[in-house]
Amino acid sequence: MAGKRIVLTGAAGFIGSHLAERLIKEGFFVVGVDCFSDYYSRAIKESNLSKLRSHDQFSFVEGDILTLKWAELLKGVSYVFHEAGRPGVRGSWGKNFEAYLRDNVFATQRLLEAAKGLKELKGFVFSSSSSIYGDAERYPTSEEDLPKPVSPYGVTKLACEQLCRVYQESFGVPATILRHFTIYGPRQRPDMAFYRFIDAMIHKKEILVYGDGEQTRDFTYVSDAVDAKILAMQNCAFGEIFNIGGGSRISVNNVIRLLEGIIGRKAYVKYSDRQKGDARDTAADIKRARERLWYSPKVNIEQGLFEQVQWQLKTPVNCCS
């Protein structure tokens, strides 16, 4: 299957599993890689992989990016999608930072090192984060605005971006950087806000909100994020950086009001102190992605929340708790 072989790290994750399914639909053979890190339950990731494991255009490799034999895995590969990494802003402080360095910075450098000099490699798409901007000086925020992360997690993602840049400039690795703004939808990680809110409301529990709830986020539905990745590959946008937002900037309090309408139940909200590392607001200027990639988000916040609620209602509690 010449020109149709892809390596996808983080294939068992929230976004990676959706991307793998889409790539298969596009006709690619996907080699999925995941180490089942301890950040959240392996059972959730196994559930994410359930459809993929039985597909003849998918093979799975369980292993650590730092120790895998990449010369073999990358043989004949046309594209690499690097989705793996340790997520989460609040958990990146203190002694945990070592794990973020290992899983984000060191792992990315290892993969880039393995990718250099591969003549058949047409693209290396790196999944970055709006966390690199921190408390931005203006909204919407463009790719030209100065990155000023406010969390160790954001620092590691920015370091990964710089590694992509230097490996491109020095060795010609065809890297594209996508700065994603908060992704949500079916299979969302259980530590993320929408998952926690929906789960609490379904089970008539209290919702914990950090801060006053008036902080805003530019939320991106998972299928739109996947579209952006496919478009980056198809348009050969290598050496470029793109903001990928969903066009659904909304406050946390308004998200909860929407969920009340969708679920048909009043939310019980407890407000707590704002957490260190949380940006006050995010908003993506996606002009560059629109013009260069023809990216246009399709799913609005009301529709996206409805889809995530329906998924969580159908998902066994023991799978995602």
Residues acting as catalytic residues: 153
Mean pLDDT, residues 137-144 taken together: 94
Residue-wise pLDDT tens digits, 184-210: 999 999 999 999 999 999 999 999 999
Q: Are strands 216-221 and 248-251 parallel, antiparallel or unpaired?
A: antiparallel
Task: Fill in the amino acid letter for 206.
Answer: E
Mean pLDDT, residues 219-223 taken together: 98
Average pLDDT, the chain: 94
Check whether 3 has a pLDDT greater than 80. Answer: no
Mean pLDDT, residues 166-171 taken together: 96
Min mean pLDDT across 9-23, 164-178, 205-219, 304-318 is at 304-318
Check whether 120 has a pLDDT greater than 90. Answer: yes
Judge whether 163 and 214 are in contact, CB under 8 Å. no
Mean pLDDT, residues 119-140 taken together: 95
Q: How confident is the model at residue 277 (pLDDT cuts 50, 70, 90)?
A: confident
Residue-wise pLDDT tens digits, 4-58: 999 999 999 999 999 999 999 999 999 999 999 888 889 999 999 999 999 999 9
Give CA–CA dist 104/100, Å, rounded.
Answer: 6
Domains of the chain with CATH codes: 5-185+219-247+280-298 (3.40.50.720)
